[in-house]
Amino acid sequence: MRKAIYPGTFDPITLGHLDIIKRASTLVDQLEVVIMRNPNKSNSDFSVEERLEMISSVIQEFNNVTVSAQTGLTVEYAKVSGASILIRGIRAVMDYEYELQQATANMVLAPNIETVFLLTRPQYSFLSSSVVKQIAQNKGDLTPFVPSQVKEFIEKKYR
């Protein structure tokens, strides 16, 4: 069985994230979306529990996708969970430079775990959780950016 993890903060999950989940789920037997606490992104608007709820609501259609929340190094969690693949989305060159550094460090820490980069579809290349939060805070229409279940959740949060 080939297992992958797709780590991120998902604060909140976007249509871009969901697209990566859909595509990655076809490449592996089991995909675990993992909310990782990133010390560089310490100002999350949504609690871990809220993010778990949002992600759970959008992955129900996939029988091989689960979600969890973890701390520590992603590659160490991958080892413990039995994952042999880390999934990462790449939006632009700036993402690639950061992700290349992370993937290279992970290769040193765990040579048996591969990082697979999935290019973001062009319509999501600008999309980030930060953009979604900014739109929500200013009462903009979130429809083009997040799944409908998540849109309702975010709108309640910012009312």
- Spot the catalytic one: 51, 91, 133, 151: 91
Q: Which residues pair with 42 in a beta bridge?
A: none
Is residue 41 part of the annotated active site? The answer reads yes
Catalytic residue among 41, 47, 125, 130: 41
Residue 42 backbone phi and psi in degrees, to 5: -75, -10
Question: Is 17 an annotated catalytic residue?
Answer: yes
Whole-Å CA distances, 1 to 7, 74, 103, 128: 19, 20, 22, 32
- The H or E element spanning position 1 is none
Catalytic one among 17, 88, 133, 151?
A: 17
Nearest 5°: phi and psi at 121?
-60, 145
Count of Cβ atoms closer than 10 Å to residue 64 Cβ: 16
CA distance 118 to 26: 12
CA separation, residue 60 to residues 18, 57, 73 (Å): 12, 6, 27
Catalytic residue among 25, 129, 133, 151: 129
Known catalytic residues are: 17, 41, 91, 129
